[in-house]
Amino acid sequence: MSDFLQKLTPFIHNHIILVGLFVLVVLALIAMEIASLFRKYKEVSPAGLTLLINRESPLMIDLSAYADFEKAHVPGARHVAMSQFDPESKDLAAAKDLPVVVMDKDGRGEAQRAAQRLVKAGFAKVFFLGGGVAAWQQAQLPTAKGRK
C-alpha cells in the first residue's frame, strides 16, 4: 500500500489533465445521482412496472414512433406521439391521481422529458420505464402488437 501511495503523487504531477478529467467525471456522476434522488418522477424497471401494473393499474403512455408501437408494445399501453403529448389535455387531467408510466422505444430521453412535463402539470405519481420497450422485451415479458 505504501508503494502505491509513493507512486501516486508523481503520477498526479505527471498526468494533471488526466486526473482533472477523472475528478470532473466523478463529480458529474455524483451530481447526476443526487439529482435523480430529488426529482419528482422515478425510473421503474420492467419488473417494477409489472408490479405496478398488478397493484395499481397505471395509465401507460408509449411515446415510440407509431411503426415501433405497432411492432411491439407493453400490453395496455396507449400510443401518443411526442408531438401530440399534452399533459394539460382533458383525457389526462382525469388521471392526475393515478400512477402514470411513460415509455419510449429505447429509454433515451423522450420518456423522461414527458415525465417532467407531467410533474409540472401536477401529476403526483409519475414513472418512466428505464430502457424503454426494448428493456421490456429484453426481460422477455409479453408484448402486444398492432394498434391496441
Copy the grid coordinates of residue 129: 420505464
pLDDT reading at 94 higher than 80? no
pLDDT reading at 121 higher than 70? yes
Copy the grid coordinates of residue 1: 500500500
More reliable by pLDDT, 64 or 5: 64
User: What pLDDT is attached to residue 1?
Assistant: 67
User: What pLDDT is attached to residue 148?
Assistant: 64
pLDDT reading at 36 higher than 80? no
Copy the grid coordinates of residue 124: 403526483
Residues making up the chain, counted from first to last: 148
Q: What is the pLDDT of residues 95-115, one digit of tens each?
A: 888 899 999 998 888 899 999
Topology classification of domain 41-138: Oxidized Rhodanese; domain 1 (3.40.250)
Copy the grid coordinates of residue 8: 501516486
Of residues 122, 101, 134, 129, the one with CA closest to residue 43: 129
- Beta strands 41-44 and 59-62 are unpaired
